[in-house]
Structure 1
Amino acid sequence: MAPSPSPIATFVPVAPDSHFSIHNLPYGVFSSRSDATPRPGVAIGEQVLDLRAIAAAGLFTGPLLRDSDCFHQTSLNRFMAMGRAAWKETRGTVQKLLSADEPALRDNTDLRKKAFFPLNEVKMELPAVIGDYTDFFSSKHHALNCGKIFRGVDALQDNWLHVPIAYHGRSSSIVTSGHPITRPCGQVAPAAGSSSPAFKPSSLLDFELEMAMFVGPGNELGTQIPVESAYDHIFGLVLMNDWSARDIQRWEAIPLGPFLGKSFATTISPWIVTLEALEPFICNPPAQDPPPLPYLKEPQGKSYDIALEVTIKPDGDPKGSTICRSNFKHLYWTLGQQLAHHTVNGCNLRPGDLLASGTISGPEQGSLGCLLEQSWGGREQVALENGGSRKFLEDGDEVVISGHCKGDGYLVGFGTCSGKLEPPRCSC
């Protein structure tokens, strides 16, 4: 783990347990009651700093941002495309403007009224126009458990230790935290004694604890992004829930992989935490044996120590039950390897593309990142703190994912990624 940064005092009130300290400064896109136009912002404590207002006031004076209109857009795509030098310049400027000893924003009462909005009064939008979405399968513990549950085999598929496995998902159904999730309907395997599949609402609906990276600068079609420069193409990370209809998924997935069992909804958290903010929490990834092929061999592999939790809140139970505590560092394949592999065939990535990690499961029962694993395919009940239990999700359940890194006296957090399950709309 890298050394913690020196403490920075800010004139904005920030509670010690806030996910959005001045050491974080995650990016998002929001709208407000006074202005319904989506625009980029930064979270600080319980406030959102409007970057459009800061840009209009001429406070971005660095050479890369002085003449840019990236903060006058309704998404972060243009800013993402500018690359790491522009991201670092922005972060440095915002950190300085928010510091306690900088008067430019602190003492400008009119600008502060225009630039700050209470976090609980804004509407968070998708932070980017997501052109493409890919979901990896990067947790060794999850892959082993799925093999045992579905195939009865205590071994990985032959290719798993050599290649980061992934499927192409549906970007149009990605929603931000708080958006309701409708139970999907679909075709499932024939019931016992029947020879015909059934069309019905999914009865095996699941969450998947994941994180996802937003791509910054992409690559031209036919070119590759080398693993040693992959991190310069990663804008930042969000929390993600890959909602999964296990009965639909199991019937349709062979031979081409996930389709309708996944494409009905994917939820992400609205705030993108940058790799700069995560640098103090770099740690070693799991050892890779056998060694990966040369194009996947990182000069110095790295992961991040990000504590993750999943809480299920049944309807009428505001406290809910935390049923999973895991960590990003359990992932076998790193961010750099995932991105390098995605482009090794010449596939072109674009700013705003989303690449997800796959379910993040650890080695213990309490760190398993989905109900499929926790209930062992529906064979066992998962106890809830209110005395109830679950094998899979029920209508009215809200799933809340949270994650943070703990520094010396501060947090770098992601907020929450939540969605509440609503009854199906199909007539079966």
Structure 2
Amino acid sequence: MKRKDFLKAGALLAATSFYKPGKAFSLSSEKIRVGLIGVNGMGWTDLQSIIKLKNVECTALCDIDANLLEKRKGELQQLNIHVKTYSDHKKLLEDNVVDAVIIATPDHWHCLQMVDAVRAGKHVYVEKPIGNSIKECEVMVAAAAQSKSIVQVGQWQRSQQHFKDAIAFVHSGKLGRIRLAKAWSYVGWKTPIIKKPDSPVPVGVDYDRWLGPAQKRNFNINRFHFEFRWFWDYAGGLMTDWGVHLLDYALQGMKADFPKAIVASGGIYADPNTAAETPDTLTAMYEFDDFNIQWEHVLGLGSGLYGRDHGIAFIGYNGTLILNRRGWEVIPEQNRMEPIPLQKPVDKGLDKHMENFVQAIVNKDKSLLNAPIEAGSHVAIVSQMGNIAYRTGKKIYWDRLKRRFTDDEANHYLAAPYHNGYSIPAV
């Protein structure tokens, strides 16, 4: 599904009927009260999904855009859901009518807000990628470990059955030896960002709080809602936006830890005059001991590998398994195995993911989570490695014991710089 269609679908969820959880999902009668931090886009879709569960209610919203905040408050009121609103996430976290929070702000805020939330004793659903640097990912894992909070990462494909079935097939060995796995995202609907001049901060927007630890800059609409992901100050482009979803499954399928070396090549090729900073075209190769994982992304073109705009391919001696959100299939290699036709999805991944999050909260059991913070950290770090290889223009090597690169320039990118009086949390 195209991102714009996915977000549009999320907005329509409010009009759908609530569903009853499956029999295996044991809930207490006690309400779990949820606050949403970052009410635009995916955050709103997340909220619409979790409030379908009969023992979950939304009690608070937080956003730096008062206009958007009031819009969402009004939409909830139409469903007879009445919430408190905040512009400062710390004030929301002080509210005793909030048990859990969804963090769906731009990437550069995830670490600070997640750490604040677990220290406030809240359970957390944090959108992917969990951090905007390798250091932030490590800090978030440590903070979660020091708390009793349940922390789920928004990699909802981990809760969808056909993804689980596909990986089980990969692990069965029927594909034969796999030397190469590929993951890719071709985003045909996204056009280059046309350069626009700086402008006054829109009325109702707390821009200083939106910037947070990012470098102080004049307001520019190109760096604001949604488009922030194409600028290094706030995010990592398509590599960390889609890469964490798809590389996650390449890593799972190959039972891979961290690569020993990474090399990447690409650039801004679609329109050199775009305002964006992150590459619109990129190929990254991750080297492991006896196999490689390849990442590829292209903005502005929709015809990807195997005729699919996104996916993961496990290329084995006997055949290739191709997996994406529309299902999975197996294509034989020289008739060495029987083909398997497309196995389509049988459930809704995001709904199942929210159900899994609430189940872990009810049972007070982190081990039940399908996407724990450690898993989110793993793939976010691997995605960051690809960006770092691109930004250095070098083949870089990872020291697994020291958790650093062997190259000083690459290590410069381990931590994102913090500005405006903010500092990365000490854990």
| TM-score interval, smaller chain | under 0.3
Q: If each structure's strand is expressed as a fraction of its own residues, which one has the higher value?
A: 1
TM-score norm. by structure 2 comes to 0.28
Q: If each structure's helix is expressed as a fraction of its own residues, which one has the higher value?
A: 2
TM-score norm. by structure 1 comes to 0.27
